[in-house]
Structure 1
């Protein structure tokens, strides 16, 4: 019998991720906790998965969370196998994922929300730091040191450190001085939640008459697109985003305008040819 739900393992997961997994598992316990876990088989789990409301991604995420619980059961000897294996997961449609903000969209948001507003500060923090929404809410003066921004990505524990841009410094400097530990907080002085910030940001984008596809995570992608177009290499991109692998990073930079890279390549070829010609003249 499933009498209680534990997180699927410590694993360094962010608090927000753990909370999301716990919600899924608590619902699973409420609906199926009276059934014997030892006799659950793959067809049973597949049937439950297919009943989950939502897209293929929603069903896949549900299965991932529940599978984590059964992995724990395997590791502790409660089961000899994992009933979440042995069947195909729903295949999600091909998509580019979150929209990467364009330069025009960033300029449109900046034109509507001026320096000195919380709305402008949020955007500059997100597009400059490439931080996830939950990380943006906890950034504060303590993360600024000697003209650099230094913090740890909460999702994977990767430390980043980079110079503060003029735009971000101006956005921070334009805000009223407070004794708060974070840049973003409510009127009551309380820390903002990631979920509430996401909802607010959607409203701010609507007021700036930006398309529905413009969201906060798209600013993270926009940051890396800008860096890629500026000629930053993979290591330089990872130093900002905190991604651990190239496969994780690739989808964030696919939207970079390849013409910038093509122009740099052409300049390198011209320089190379010029060096070759100089060498031939000296040899002659």
Structure 2
């Protein structure tokens, strides 16, 4: 059985193989829980799809740059659906599956601070992403409300049905956002919803947020995720501080050169020589 599965995985792309293997493991996990098979009989043990390796080699989804964001904001001002979708991704740091179902129920006041609190889809509700409402996000929500495009039901954004904003599946939500991004000339195929989240994770790391703070805001359960961003930020910071030291040293060398006599061939007479008799 394991040999057959291995051949099936090889016949697919890494992403397809990863999705298949994930589905099989969920099904087999259920079969083990229900005692239909023994844990040792799990045919997926030791199998790899190559999805993780392919993601590392390709770099995964590309983070949005400041230029990308400026283009998008210039094309889609406050009070538009496109801008609201972007601001939800940008200011809540949510994954696609959580951003697409984000609504008023996810805004809660804690310690006199309005917070975004979402039990994440990826953790099956076991982990809650917790992000204080950014002041610019509050402005964006108010603009959307004034423009009459903010959903008052289950979700803030979605599909319009008989004058009401209704939930839409995450793939459709992602496709709509991708269309808005293309119209704003953010055309790279690897720049999608998740790229906005990655850009904000980089900002958090460069802002010297701790691993624990990033895990709370991004809904991560593994320290490895924030550690990757923090390590990259620290490497860049070390390189910058190192270059500052090199430039300071070079500046001192230049000053020393300027202080040298212009006539290198002149004769220097020491006081001790003046006292010598001819």
Match of residue 103 from structure 1: 66
CA gap of 1:89–1:134, structure 2 versus 1, over 3 A, is: closer
Match of residue 90 from structure 2: 127
CA gap of 1:140–1:78, structure 2 versus 1, over 3 A, is: closer
Match of residue 189 from structure 2: 212
Match of residue 49 from structure 1: 9
Residues 1:167 and 2:136 aligned together: yes
Decide which of 79, 82, 100 is 2:37's aligned counterpart.
79
Contact kept, 8 Å, 2:100 with 2:167, in 1: the verdict is yes
Decide which of 143, 146, 155 is 2:122's aligned counterpart.
155
Which deviates more from structure 2 when the two are superposed, residues 154-163 or residues 233-242? 154-163
Within 1, Cα distance between the matches of 2:24 and 2:18? 10
> Could you report, residue by residue, the CA deviation over 1:62-119 in whole angstroms, capped at 9, with x for unpaired residues?
1232133234334444334122235554474323211111222111211111101010
TM score, norm. by length of structure 1: 0.69
- Residue 255 of structure 1 and its aligned partner are, at CA, apart by 6.0
Match of residue 202 from structure 1: 178
User: Where do 5+ consecutive residues of structure 2 fail to align?
Assistant: 245-278
Contact kept, 8 Å, 2:158 with 2:167, in 1: the verdict is yes
Match of residue 191 from structure 1: 167
User: Where do 5+ consecutive residues of structure 1 fail to align?
Assistant: 1-40, 268-284
- Residue 196 of structure 1 and its aligned partner are, at CA, apart by 0.9
Secondary structure of residue in 2 paired with 1:161? strand
Contact kept, 8 Å, 1:151 with 1:161, in 2: the verdict is yes
- Residue 61 of structure 1 and its aligned partner are, at CA, apart by 2.6
TM score, norm. by length of structure 2: 0.70
Aligned ranges for residues 262-273 of structure 1 at < 5 Å? Answer: none
Secondary structure of residue in 2 paired with 1:106? helix
Larger radius of gyration: 2
- Residue 173 of structure 1 and its aligned partner are, at CA, apart by 0.8
CA gap of 1:212–1:50, structure 2 versus 1, over 3 A, is: closer
RMSD: 2.9
Within 2, Cα distance between the matches of 1:87 and 1:191? 37
> Could you report, residue by residue, the CA deviation over 1:205-261 in whole angstroms, capped at 9, with x for unpaired residues?
110111222100111111111111111111111121010111233455666485456
Decide which of 141, 157, 161 is 2:104's aligned counterpart.
141
Which deviates more from structure 2 when the two are superposed, residues 175-184 or residues 116-125? 175-184
CA gap of 1:233–1:263, structure 2 versus 1, over 3 A, is: farther
Decide which of 12, 15, 26 is 1:68's aligned counterpart.
26
Contact kept, 8 Å, 1:159 with 1:242, in 2: the verdict is yes
CA gap of 1:193–1:252, structure 2 versus 1, over 3 A, is: farther
Within 2, Cα distance between the matches of 1:99 and 1:214? 5
